[in-house]
Amino acid sequence: MPEGTLCNKQHVNTEEQLQALLADKSGKTYYEEMKSLDVDQDKLAKTLAATFKSRLKTWLSICAHCGLCADSCFLYLANKRDPKQVPSYKIQSTLGEIVKRKGRVDTPFMIHCMDVAWSQCTCCNRCGMYCPFGIDMGVMFGYLRGLCYSQGFVPWELKIGSGMHRIYRAQMDITTEDWVDTCEWMAEENEEEWPGLEIPIDKENADIMYTVNAREPKHYPEDLAEAAILFHLAGENWTVPSEGWEETSLAMFAGDWEACRMQVESVYDAMKRLNPKRMVVTECGHAYRATVIEGPYWAGLKNGQTPVPSLHYIEWLAEALRTGKIKIDPAKKIKEPVTYQDSCNYIRNAGLADTAREIMSYIAEDFREMQPCREHNFCCGGGGGFNGLGRYRPERNVGLKVKRDQILATGAKLVISPCHNCWDAIRDLEEVYKIGIRWSFLKPIIIGMAIVPDHMKPAEE
């Protein structure tokens, strides 16, 4: 059997395909079919010839095998320094082999590549900072994921995820109507407590176009309400687009570059349609990475910039606190020791380390850095899609140990984590290791300590 009915080289472009995949619980049949999925070696060789150029070639061939990348990898550390977890080994024994054999690899080897690409690397890009040549194995694993995806060797959840983006332009099955309803519902829910609160939809020429992670409307609509409350408090002229509101990209985790492009173009179209001055992305790391850092390239924008300037939520928040748009009640600042989880995607890979510290300086009295921190921080343990892959759950749980120990060493019981993936990983590490910590996004914390001007308070009855 060259191709399975579920596990194949086809993109998921229809609702029917999507439902069939979803009906296959935990991907049992999908992974069974994968064992006999043929490798299209000619296509693989052609893809290599077209896309494997001097940067990647040089990285693979110049590696001095010095091993300096070993200690940089949290998965190497979490797995008792297993030499098979050395980043250089991981990439040389997978992508390196595919290149060496010019694509003449078989099915078991591709399954091995898939397992390494999604369970032994979160594409956190930390190893690239420790290599004297700047060999960024996270980038190479991203490339390998693309090769695996194009051959149909992709974890079940991500085949579904990239299909969701293709069909709904969101990582979950949320229609435009669902989204608009959720916005209206959240505005209504909160307007009594916050008179005048609204979630303006499709308002043209606003100062801010706000975009989110699909999990928010689907599972945590209160996050959307909190965003609205803070924009309201800050007196912002803002809007959300009815279409093009989703920032995340499971397609990026999957290596489905075409779906990546389709997804970010939906957001860029909203920018062009509504003409906001700026875009603000919710508290999510990979969403920002996908739409603001990588997205312009997928969409073929030569200057590498989004059509309007784009901010991560922490940039907007730091600005609002700095300029006094939102004022913090000093008595309500966080008194207990508190630490901050630096998300790889917007700290190491987008330069926002100082912004995060600025916010902490306004809201916390006893802020404690993890060690190492900022650009050198370790991945939460769940990045790059790792959190959501059932096949690799045990490996993910082992990987959480490094973050657990980093948090424990700070002595803080509260972790601020303005990134959905990190937030999930930290929640899960508490569930697995029970170290007695709490974790939070910034929005609820800021609402709890912001000074609300009298005219914004509900009228006394």
Partner 1 sequence: MYEFLTGPVLWLTFAVFFIGLAARFVWYVRGLDWKLDRVAYRQWPKYGIRGALRSIGFWLLPWGTRSWQVKPVFTLVFFAFHIGLLVTPIFLLGHNLLLDERWGFALPTLPAGVASFFTVMVMVAGLFLVIRRIALPEVRILTTWYDYLVLIIAVAPFATGYLAANHIGDYGFWLNIHIVTGIIWIVAIPLTKLSHFLMFFLTRAQIGMDYGIKRGGMKSKGMAW
CB of 284 to partner 1, least distance (A): 17
137-150 and 41-51 helices, crossing angle to 10° = 140
Nearer to partner 1 among residue 63 and residue 172 (C-beta): 63
**Given strand 310-312, what is the order of strands in its sheet?**
238-239, 208-211, 278-281, 310-312
Nearer to partner 1 among residue 195 and residue 351 (C-beta): 351
Quote the CA–CA distance of 46 and 424 in Å, as a whole number: 39
CB of 289 to partner 1, least distance (A): 9
CB 187 within 8 A of CB 197: yes
CB of 63 to partner 1, least distance (A): 8
Nearer to partner 1 among residue 18 and residue 356 (C-beta): 356
CA dihedral 180, 186, 188, 189 (to 10 degrees): 150
Alpha-carbon distance values, 233 to 228, 278, 293, 324, 455 (Å):
8, 18, 29, 11, 11
CB of 104 to partner 1, least distance (A): 21
CB of 303 to partner 1, least distance (A): 5
Nearer to partner 1 among residue 137 and residue 206 (C-beta): 137
Nearer to partner 1 among residue 274 and residue 350 (C-beta): 350
Nearer to partner 1 among residue 53 and residue 438 (C-beta): 53
Q: Residue 103 has which token pair?
A: 């694509």
CB of 55 to partner 1, least distance (A): 5
Nearer to partner 1 among residue 226 and residue 342 (C-beta): 342
CB of 84 to partner 1, least distance (A): 7
Nearer to partner 1 among residue 57 and residue 219 (C-beta): 57
Query: Of all residues in the chain, what percent are helix, strand and coil, respectively (each to 5)?
Result: 55, 10, 35
CB of 240 to partner 1, least distance (A): 24
CB of 27 to partner 1, least distance (A): 30
DSSP per residue, 430-456? HHHH----EEE-HHHHHHHHBPPPGGG
CB 206 within 8 A of CB 54: no
Residue 209, SS3 per DSSP: strand
Nearer to partner 1 among residue 34 and residue 116 (C-beta): 116
Residue 203, SS3 per DSSP: coil
DSSP per residue, 154-188? --HHHHHHHHHHHHHSSSS---HHHHHHHHHHHHH
Q: What is the CA radius of gyration of the chain?
A: 22
Nearer to partner 1 among residue 79 and residue 242 (C-beta): 79
Nearer to partner 1 among residue 133 and residue 453 (C-beta): 133
Residue 281, SS3 per DSSP: strand
Nearer to partner 1 among residue 223 and residue 294 (C-beta): 294
Residues that bind partner 1 (CB under 8 A): 51, 53-55, 57-59, 61-68, 70-72, 76, 81, 83-84, 86, 88-89, 92, 128-136, 293-294, 297-298, 300, 302-305, 315, 348-355, 372, 374-376
DSSP tag of 291:
I
User: Smallest Cα–Cα separation from 345: which of 122, 80, 41?
Assistant: 122
Strand 310-312 and strand 278-281: the pairing is: parallel
Buried b (16+ CB within 10 A) or exposed e, 263-284: bbbbbbbbbeebebebbbbbbb
Strand 364-367 and strand 334-340: the pairing is: parallel
CB of 146 to partner 1, least distance (A): 11
CB of 347 to partner 1, least distance (A): 8
CB of 357 to partner 1, least distance (A): 12
Which residues, in sequence order, are CB contacts of 135 under 8 Å at separation 6+? 59, 62, 63, 69, 88, 127, 128
CB 199 within 8 A of CB 215: no
Strand 334-340 and strand 438-440: the pairing is: unpaired
